[in-house]
Structure 1
C-alpha cells in the first residue's frame, strides 16, 4: 500500500511536471511569440507613429534564446527607417543568477539597414518619430541602490548597411556604408570591466573605416586604433562639408591611422591621440560654383601626430608634400580671393563653436610643435586682376623646409626656401627665425628677376614701357617685429640691361648697360641708409622741352584723378614718444662710365638740339651727415667738338659749395636758339670759352665769370614776339677789341636758394647787366635818376573821375623832368576804367541822364528841341521825373498818399527820393560806353598835363587802346604808363 501510494504520488508529480513543462513550452514556444508578433507592430506604431512589421519571433524558454526576423520600421512615405533580417539574443540564466544581474552570451544582429535622410529643409527623416512617451514615474522602491548589472559576452552586427541621403544643399546626394561589421566581447557595466571591440565599414564610393580597441562603460573610457583608408574627400564634401567650407573639394583620397585614449574624469573627458598619420592623395580644391582651381596637392603626408586635448598640445613629427599647385589672385576690388572666400567664415565659426570642455583652460594657448615641414616642387600662380591689364606671377620649383617649429618657443627655427620666379629668375632664402617676438635672420639671393613682368604696375602712372632689365642681388636680412620695427640689410644689387621706351614717341627714354649697388647697409630703426658705391655703365637719358614749355617727362606721367578720402573715425592721439631720428643717407661713390644724353628744347623760336657723350667721372662723399662734403669730377663732350669739365665740392648740410665749370671751343652757332629766343637774332659766327667759378657760403652766392667770345657776328633777325629788345649791334661794336674778341670778366653776387646755370642764362646775364639793364627796367632807372622810389609807371584816379589828384600831378611833374633829359624816350599812355570800382560812382549820373532824356521828350512834345546833354534839371523837375521813372520801373512797389506824395509801399514813412534813387541805381547795369569814355578822359588828362605845363612834345606821346577791367583791382584805380624809344 505504501509503495503504491508512493508510485501514485510520483506519477502524479511526473504528470504535473510534464503538464507544467508542456504549458511552459506552449507559452514559451508558441503563445508568447505569437502575442509578441501580433502586438509588437501595433505597440511600436503607437510609440513612434510609424508603421512597423515583424516577420517572425522565436523564443526558446529552456535555453532562453530569442530570435526576431524580418523587422522593418517604415516612415509615412513608405520608406524604411530601420530594419534587419534577424536579431538573436542568448540569455545565460544561471550566470545571471550568480551575477544578480543580466548576462547575455550573445547578441547578434544580421543584415541591419539604417536609412538616414536629411531633407531640403534640414530636417531628418527620424524626426517623424513623434510617439508619446509616458511620463516617467519616480522610482519609490529604489532608494539609491546599485543599478542592475549587465554583462554581454559577445555583441555582433554582421553585414550591416547604412544609407545616407542629403538634400539640404539643393541637390540630392547619397552614400552607402556597407558592409558594416561590429563585434564587442565582454561588454559590462561593472566597474573597470573592459570590452574588446572591432569595427569595419566599407564605403560604396570607395574606402574603408576600421577600428580596434577596448571600451569601458563605468567609468566611461576607451582606447584603440582607428584607420581610414582611401576615403573619397569629394564625396565627403558633398555629404557633410559643403555647407561648412567656402570651397569645393573636387577630388582627393584620405588615409588616416591614429591611436587614441579617452577616459572620464571628475573635471571632464581626458583625450589623447598618438602615433597619428595622415596621407592625402590627389587633393583638388576649387571655388564653389565657379570651377576655378585653387589648390592641387598630389601628395601630403603628416606623420607622428600626438594630441593631448587636456594639455592643449599638438606634436607632429613631419609634414611633407610635393608637386602641389596653388592659384591665388587679387580681385578687381583689391581683395585677395582667399580673403574673400573666408571673410564670412570667422564670425560664423566663432558663433557656432561649442563651449570648450571644463577640462580645457580656454585662457591657455595651444602649444603646437612641428619637427619638420618639407614642401617640394610646389608652384604658386598669382594673378592681379585689380590692374587694367591683369598681371601673372609664377613661383615654380618651390622648395621649403622648416625645422623645430614651436608656437611657444623663442628658439631659432631653421628655414630654407628656394624657387624659380617666372621660369627665368630665382630666389633663395635661408636662415633662422623665432616667433615670440617674431624675428628672423635670413640670407637672400635673388637672381635674374626680369622687370618687364611688372609693367602693369607702372602703366597707371607712366606711359613708359619696361623693355628689358634684370634685377639680381644678395644680402642678409635681419627682422624683429617690435616698436619700432627692427630691420637691417647688408648686401649688393645689380640691375642689368635696363631699357625703357617712351610710349608717346616710341623712343628710348632711360637705359643703361649696368647699374651696380655695392656695400648696401640699411638700418631702418636708426634710419641709416648706406651705399658704398653706385656704378652706372653706359647710362643714357633723353630729355626734351616741348613747344609749350612742358617736358617729355610730363608727357610720360598719367594724370591721377584726385579722389576724396573716405571719412575715417578719429583715432585717439598717441602719446608723444620723442622726436624720431632724421634719416641718415650716405653714398661713398657714384661713378659714371661713357654716359650719353640727348637734349632738345623745342620751346624756343629755333629748336635747340644737343647730344652729350663721353660723360665720365665720379661723385664721392654723398652724405646727409653734418659737415659732409661731396666731391665731383666730371668731363664730357658736346657733339664731339666742345669739351665740358665740371670739378668741385658741395657741402650738403649748409649748401656751401665751390664748383668750377669749364667750356672750351664751344661754337656759338650751336646756341643760336637761345639767342633767337632771348633777343631775336641768329648767331652767324663765333666761338666761346667759358670759365665759371661759383662759390656758395652761408647762403651767399659769388660767381666769377671769365668769358671769351671770338669773332662774334649776328645773323638775320628772327621773328619772335617774346624776344627782349636789345641794342645788340651797338653793344657788340663797343665790346669788341681790335682783334674781334670780347673778353669779359664779371662777378655775380647775391643770395640764391637754388641757383641754376646754363649757357643761355649766362649770356642773358652778360647782355642784361652790361647793355640793357636800363631798357628792361626803364622806370626804375628814372626813379634812381630822380632819387625817388615812386612807381612812375602808373597814375591813380578817384572812382568815376578823370581829374588828376595833387599827388599824381606832382609825380607827373617829376616824370616830365626825366623825359626832358631823355629826348629819345617816348611815353605811352593806356587809359583804364574799372567796372567794379568806377561804375558805382557813375550810376547817379546814369540815372540823371535818363531823367534828362525824359525832360527832353517833354520839351519836344511842346515843340522845343533841346538835346538832353544841355538840360539842367531843377529840384522840382528832378523829384517829379524821378517819381515818374520809379513808378514805371517798379509799379508794384510805389503808391501815393492822399495828398499825392509819392511813397514806397514797404517803407511809407521814409524819404522817397533817396531810396528811389538808390533802388534805380541798383538795377542799372554797367555801361561800357561810359566806362570807355572815362578811360579815354583819363588818358587825355595825363597827355594834356605832360604836354601843356610839362613841355613834352606831342610827337613823343602815344595813346594806347583803352582797357575795361571787369575784375577787382587790388592796387586801386590806375592808368598805366610805358616807355619806348624813337627809331
Structure 2
C-alpha cells in the first residue's frame, strides 16, 4: 500500500515538474520566436536612422537575420553611401557577429566571432588643405565633434576574419588609382580588459596591392603555456612619406623624409586564459626630417632605435629595453606674437579639413559641438570605471650629438638665434611605477663659444621629483645681448659660472649650495653721458633657495672692483632709468604658449606659496676696492661727488631683520675728505649704533639740495664730525636718537642769490662735547662749549622793503607772491604798527613801564632740554644797508665780541651776557645783563645803551616816510628788558634832542598825515621829545638797525598822534580815548558829573598844548533821543497841570519848582490823557474809556510828535552846553573852541559809547 502511494506521489511530482519545465521551454521558445521575427526589423530601422542622424549618410541593409539560440546576427547586403546619398562608398556582402552571453554579466561588449565577407571600400582624395580632402572627411568631422565620454568602453573581440576584401583609392591629387584586392585578414582577438578567449583563427594579413602579392602569416607556439600565436612584421627602410597622404587626419607638420625598419612580433597571447595583444622587437626610424606647414624646419633625426621588450597594444603598458636617438636637431622659434612653433603640435589633430564643422553641427540640435575629439567607442561606453594607468618602463635612454636652434623674435631685439650643440642625455631605469627607484640621468650641452651646461642626478618621472647637480661654465652675456635689448638700452658683457644642487618635488624647486661668479661684468649705455657700470667680479657663495618654505639663504656676496657713476640729468632723470626701456617701449608680454611656473605646482602647494612671504638671509656682503661717482645736473650748480677706496662689509643681513647686523664702511670723498663708519644693529633694527669719523666733509657740495629752499649759495664749507650715533627703536614711532661727540663747521661762505658781496661767513663754529638725546622719555642736548670766530653778516633791506635775512628761507614761488602782494602793501612803518602788541602802560616819575602779557604757555608733552655750558664770540661784524630809502642808508656794527655763560632750558639760572661793539665806529654799543632763552618759562634781564647817535644820518628815513629832511638832532636811548613769570616788562627811555625838520621833500611814500603838527604835539618847551614805548628788536640780532628801528617807532608815535590824538592826550593827561566825546542822557542837554570830569581832563590837555584847537559837534540819535524828548514833553505837561493846581493855592510858586513823585504819576498821566485831543478808545455810550496808567502813557507818547527841528535844536543845545562849560568853567579861550553843524544820526560812530553825545575833533 505504501509502495503504491509513494509511486502515485512521485508520479504527481514528476507531472508538476514536467509542467514547469514545459512552461519555461515554451517561454524561451516564445521569446526566441519573437526575437527571430521582430529584432531584425528593429535593428535595421534604428541603425539606418542613427547613421543618418550621426554622420549624415544613408545606410541600407538587404537582409538581417538573428539566431536567438546562437546569438548570431547576420547582415547581408550592407551599403553605406556617399554624401550624395546615391553612390556606394562601403559595401559588405555579409557581416556575421557571434555575440556572447558573457556580455551581460561582464558589463562589456564581448563578441566570440566577427566575420566580414567581400567588403568593398571606395576612397577618393581631392585637393584641399594639407594632404587633401577625402570622401569620408565629413564623417570624421562629425565624429570629432561628438561629446567625449569620460568613461572607457570595455570590449573583447575574438576570431576577427575578413575575406575577399577590396579597396579602391582614387587619388585625384596625383591623378593615380590604387587597388588592394583579395584582402584577407585574420586576428585571433582584440581586447582591452582581461578576458578568457577561445580562438581558432590564426594571425594573417594578405592582399594583392596593384597586382603584387603581400603576405604576413602568423605562427603558433604550441609548446608554451600561453598558447601564443604571433604575426611577424618585418619592414626594411619603408618610405613613410609615400603613405602619409592617406592618413585620414590632417597632420600639423610636413614629413619630408622618414625611413621605417622593423623586426617586430605582434603576439596574440592567452596566458593564464587571459587574452593579450603584445608587440615586441626592434624599431628603427632613420633620416627623419619634419617641417612645419610653411616649410620651416622643425626636426631632423639621424636615427631612432627602440628595443621593445614588450608593449601591450590594448592597455598601452610598455617595457622598452633601450631607446636611442642619434643626431637629433630641433628648431624652436618664438615669433613676434610670442607663439612657439611647436605649440600648434600640442593641440588635438583635426580631420583633413575642419572648415565645415561649424556649419554641420549647427544643423543638429541633439548633438552638442565641443572642441574635444571623441571616439565612437567612448560615446557608447557602458562602464564608468576608470582603468589604472598603464605601467611604462624604459630601461635606458640615450641621446647623443643633439643640436638645438632657438630663435626668439618676441623677447629679443633684433630677433636672435641661439645654437646649442653637443646635446647629450643618458637616463637609466625610467619607470612609471609608484614604487620604482629613481632613474639616474646625465645631461650636457655646449654653447656657440664653448660654454657648457651639465646636469647630473636622478629623477622619478611619476611624481616629478628631480635631484641633480648643475654646472654652468663660461657663459657669455654678450652673446645674448638681443634678448636683453627689449629691457636694456645698453650693451652688457661678462661671463658667469654657476654650480648648484637642484631639487624639484611637487612642482617646487629647491637650490642648495649654489655658487656663482660673474666676471668682468660691464654695462655700457649707448651714450657716454649716461655713465657706465663695471665690475671686476661678483661672487655669490653657498646660496640655498626653497620654494616650499619660501626662504633664500646666502653665505656671502662680494662686489670686487665696482666702478660706476650715478647721474641725474637736467630733468632729474637718473641715468639708471635711461639704461632700462620703459614698459611702453619694451616688447615684453606673457605668451599663452609659455606656461607660468605656478601652473606646474599642485594646488595645495601653490596656495601655501601664495600666502607666505619670502625670507632672505645674507651672512656676508662686501664691496671691495670700489668707486662710485655722482653727478646731478638737475641742481644748480651741478653736484659732483666721488667716493674712492670704497670698502664696505656687512654681516647677518635678513629680510625679517631677525639677526643682529654689523657694518663697516671706509671711503674717501674727493681728494681731502674721509668718512669712516662702524655700525651695529640689533634684531628688527631696534637699536642701531654708529661710530662716525668724518674729516673735511664737503657740505658745500651737497648744498644745492638745500638751495631751492633758501635764497643763498654756499660757496665754501666743510664739516668735521666724530662721535657715536645711536638710534633706539629705529623703526618705531617712539624712536630715540643719541649722539656723543663733536661737530665743527669750518670755512663757511654764503652769498645771497644774485649778489656778489658776502652775506654770511665764518671761519669756525665749533660745538664741543655734544651729548644729544632726541626722543624717548627725556630729550636732552648738551654742549660743553660753543665757539663762533671771525664771523660776518650782512643785512640788506631791499628797495621793495624786504630784509634779505627775512627772505633767506623763502622759495622762488614765495618771493613772487610777496612781490605781487607788496604793490598794495602798507609801508614798513604801518606794518610795524599793525603788528605791534597792545601793551598795558603804567607811568613812574622818570619813565614809562610797558607790561605785555605773553601768549599762554603751550605745554609740550616731552620738550627737548638744551644746555650750553659756554658761548664765545669774537671778531664779529654785522653790516646793515637800507636800499628801501633814497638815498640809501648804511650802518655797521663792528668789533662784536663777548661771552654768554651757561644756559639751560631745565634750569632757570640765568647766564651772564657781556657784548660790546660800535655803531658806525662812532656810538659805543653795550649789551649786558643776564638771560636764559632756553628755560621754561624764559628769563631775561638785559640792558642796552647807545648814546649820541646823530639824527642827521637818519635823513633818508625822514625824507621817505615823513617827507622832510632832518637838519639837526641827537638820539640817546637806554633800554631794559625783563622777562619773568611769562610777563614781559620793557622799560624804555628814548630821547630825541633838538629834532628839527628842514625842507619838505616830495616823496610818494611819505605819510599824508600832518607830521609837523604831530611833532609840535610831542615836543615840550625845551625842544625835547621823550618816547616811552617798547621797541621790538634785539641789538644782537643780525636784523638789528638802531636808526631803522627807532625811526619806525617814532613814525608809529606820529601816526597814532594824528590818527588817535585823544588816545595820545589821554595817555599823557588821563582819560584815554574817551576824551574824543562826552555823553548825554537821551533827550537831555544837562551835564552830568561824569561829563564834567571828562571835560576837565580835556581842558587840562588843551592848556598844556596851546597850539591845539577844538571842534565841537552836537549829535542826536533819532530814535532814543525822540523817545527822550517825548518823555520830557510828558513830564512838562504833568508839571504844568500840577503847577496850575498848586498855583491856585500858592501864587508865588514857580514851574521850575514843581516835581512829580512816583505816587502822583498815575494821577497826572490820567489828567494828561484826558486833556489830549487824539482819538481814544470809547465805551458803548461813546465816552472815552479809562485806561491803565501804562497804556494811557503809551498812547500819549505815541501821539506826541517830535520834529526834525526839535532834534536839531537838541543837538545844538548839547554843543552849546559843552562850549559854555569849557569856556566859563574850565577857562579855555573861546577862540580855540568852534561849534560845528549838528549831526542828526549815529552814522560814523565806531566806538562803543552812547550815540547821545557831543563829539570832539582836534586841529
Residues of 2 paired with 1:150 and 1:235: CA distance? 40
Alpha-carbon distance, 1:510 to partner: 0.9
2:1073 maps to 1:825? no
Q: After TM superposition, list the pairs within 5 Å mapping 1:606-621 onto structure 2.
A: 608-621=889-902
Cα 1:957–1:334, aligned 2, differ >3 Å: closer, same or farther?
Answer: farther
Aligned runs of 1:641-790 on 2, under 5 Å?
641-651=922-932, 652-662=935-945, 682=966, 695-698=978-981, 717=998, 719=1000, 722=1011, 724-726=1014-1016, 731-732=1021-1022, 779=1062
Q: Does residue 126 of the first structure (1) align with residue 343 of the second (2)?
A: yes
Aligned to 1:17: none
- Distance of aligned partners of 1:196 and 1:286 in 2 relative to their CA distance in 1, 3 Å threshold: same
2:786 is aligned to 534
Correspondence 1:14-53 to 2 at 5 A: 31=235, 33-34=237-238, 38-39=242-243, 42-43=246-247, 46=249, 48-53=251-256
* TM-score, normalised with respect to structure 2: 0.54
Q: What CA distance in whole angstroms lies between the structure 2 residues aligned with 1:970 and 1:212?
A: 102
CA contact (8 A) 2:481 2:492 kept: no
Q: Distance in 2 between matches of 1:413 and 1:516?
A: 33
- 2:699, 2:384 → 1: CA distance? 89
Find the counterpart in structure 1 of residue 552 from structure 2. 314
- Matched residues in 2 for 1:522 and 1:140: separation? 85
Q: Which residue of 1 aligns with 2:1258?
A: 979
Which residue of 2 is the match for residue 498 of structure 1?
748
Mark the CA change 1:328 to 1:122 in structure 2 (over 3 Å): closer, same or farther. farther
What residue is the counterpart of 1:251 in the other structure? 492
- Confirm whether residue 434 of structure 1 aligns to residue 682 of structure 2: yes
The 8 Å contact of residues 249 and 284 in structure 1, kept in 2 or not, is answered as no
Q: CA RMSD in A?
A: 6.1
Deviations 1:764-802 (A, max 9, x none): 99999x99999998646876999866734469999xxxx
CA distance in 2: counterparts of 1:413 and 1:820, whole angstroms: 85
Give deviations 1:395-432, integer Å, cap 9, x for gaps: 44432211233445644222012334466544322121
For the 8 Å contact 2:493–2:521, the answer to whether it is kept is yes
Q: What corresponds to 1:512 in structure 2?
A: 762
- The residue that corresponds to 2:864 in the other structure is 583
Partner of 2:562 in structure 1? 323
Question: Displacement of 1:637 after TM fit?
Answer: 3.3
SS at match of 2:705: helix
- 1:199 matched to which residue of 2? 443
Q: Does the CA-based 8 Å contact 1:200-1:209 persist in structure 2?
A: yes
Q: Return the match for 2:516 from 278, 295, 306.
A: 278
Residues in 2 aligned to 1:396 and 1:506: alpha-carbon distance in whole angstroms = 34
In structure 2, the residue matched to 1:163 is 406
Does the 8 Å CA contact 2:914/2:927 hold for their aligned counterparts?
A: yes
Q: Summarize deviations over 1:118-166 as a string: whole Å, max 9, x none.
A: 3426464531665146649689999967844634335123232333333
Q: After TM superposition, list the pairs within 5 Å mapping 1:480-499 onto structure 2.
A: 480=728, 481=730, 482-499=732-749
* Cα offset, 1:28, TM superposition: 7.1
The secondary structure found in structure 2 opposite 1:452 is helix
SS, match of residue 598 in structure 2: coil
| CA–CA distance in structure 2, aligned partners of residues 223 and 411 of structure 1 | 31
For the residue of structure 2 that corresponds to 1:580, the secondary structure is coil
Is 130-139 or 502-511 further displaced after alignment?
130-139
**Cα displacement string for residues 258-284 of structure 1 (whole angstroms, at most 9, x for unaligned residues):** 3425365xxx46754333211223445
Q: CA contact under 8 A between 1:675 and 1:760: conserved in structure 2? A: no
After the TM superposition, which residues 629-644 of structure 1 pair with which residues of structure 2 at under 5 Å, given as runs? 629-644=910-925
The separation in 2 between residues aligned to 1:207 and 1:692, in whole angstroms, is 89
How far apart in 2 are the matches of 1:408 and 1:474? Answer: 31
Deviations 1:32-83 (A, max 9, x none): 653756435754x836333223343333569954332222222221212222
Pick from 596, 613, 618 the counterpart of residue 370 of structure 1: 618
Per-residue deviation, 1:304: 1.9
How far apart are 1:465 and its partner, in Å?
Answer: 1.9
C-alpha separation in 2, matches of 1:144 and 1:61: 27
Counterpart of 2:1074 in 1: which secondary structure?
coil
1:515 CA drift (Å) = 0.9
Q: Aligned partners of 2:626 and 2:293: how far apart in 1?
A: 54
Does the CA contact (< 8 Å) of 1:213 and 1:224 recur in 2?
yes
The SS at the match of 1:34 is strand
Greater shift after overlay, 142-151 or 590-599?
Answer: 142-151
2:443 corresponds to 1:181: no
SS in 1 for 2:906: coil
Query: Of residues 774, 777, 782 in structure 2, which corresponds to 1:524?
Result: 774
Structure 1 SS opposite 2:344 = helix
Aligned positions of 1:274-423 closer than 5 A: 274-284=512-522, 296-321=534-559, 322-325=561-564, 327=566, 329=568, 354=598, 358=604, 361-362=608-609, 365-380=613-628, 391=639, 394-407=642-655, 410-421=658-669
Secondary structure of 1:478's counterpart equals strand
| Alpha-carbon distance in 1 for matches of 2:661, 2:329 | 54
Query: Are the equivalent residues in 1 in contact too, given 2:948–2:970 (CA < 8 A)?
Result: no
Q: Which residue of 1 aligns with 2:457?
A: 213
Shift in alpha-carbon separation, 1:732–1:341, aligned structure 2, 3 A: farther
Instruction: Write the deviation string for residues 929-969 of structure 1: whole angstroms up to 9, x where unpaired.
Output: xxxxxx9xx99997999699969878657999999x9x987
After superposition, where does 1:804-823 map in structure 2 within 5 Å?
none
Equivalent-residue separation in structure 2 for 1:551 and 1:107 (angstroms): 93
Instruction: State the 1:183 CA deviation.
Output: 2.8
Q: CA deviation at 1:671?
A: 7.0
In 2, the alpha carbon distance for the partners of 1:656 and 1:76 equals: 97
Structure 2 portions without partners, runs of 5+:
1-213, 220-230, 266-279, 312-316, 351-372, 818-858, 1002-1006, 1119-1207
- Displacement after TM superposition at 1:655 (Å): 3.7
Assess if the C-alpha contact under 8 Å between 2:1017 and 2:1105 holds in 1. no
Structure 2 counterparts to residues 845-864 of structure 1, below 5 A: none
Work out the CA distance in 2 between the residues paired with 1:814 and 1:313: 96
8 A Cα contact 1:251 1:282, kept in partner:
no
CA pair 193-944 structure 1, distance change in 2 beyond 3 A:
closer
Gaps of 5+ in 1: 1-19, 95-99, 565-577, 736-745, 839-934
Matched, 1:262 2:503: yes
Measured against aligned partners, the alpha-carbon deviations of 1:518-550 in whole angstroms (never above 9, x if no partner) come to 222222223322322221111111123456653
**Structure 1 residues 32 and 698, CA gap change in structure 2 (3 angstroms):** closer
Q: CA separation of 1:477/1:338 partners in 2, compared to 1, >3 Å: closer, same or farther?
A: farther
Q: Which residue of 2 aligns with 1:152?
A: 395
Conserved in 1, the CA contact under 8 Å of 2:1080 and 2:1086?
Answer: no
Q: Select between 322-331 and 816-825 the one with higher mean Cα deviation.
A: 816-825
- Which stretch of the first structure deviates more once superposed, 621-630 or 192-201? 192-201
TM-score where L is the length of structure 1: 0.67
C-alpha change, 1:236 and 1:41, in structure 2 (3 Å) is: farther
- CA 1:67–1:671 in structure 2 vs 1: closer, same or farther (change >3 Å)? same
Q: CA deviation at 1:250?
A: 3.2
CA drift of 1:507 comes to 1.6
How many angstroms apart in 2 are the aligned matches of 1:975 and 1:603?
A: 44
The residue that corresponds to 1:469 in the other structure is 717
CA spacing shift, 1:810–1:341, aligned 2, 3 Å:
farther
CA contact (8 A) 1:397 1:419 kept: yes
Separation in structure 1 between the aligned mates of residue 475 and residue 1054 of structure 2, nearest angstrom: 99
Residue 319 of structure 1, CA deviation: 0.7
Q: Greater shift after overlay, 948-957 or 598-607?
A: 948-957
What are the superposed Cα offsets for residues 198-241 of structure 1, whole Å, 9 maximum, x if unpaired? 322233477332223334446654333212233344665744x7
Q: Deviation string for 1:699-753 (max 9, x for gaps)?
A: 66667789999xx877773647657524899755799xxxxxxxxxx997x9999
CA apart distance, 1:624: 1.8
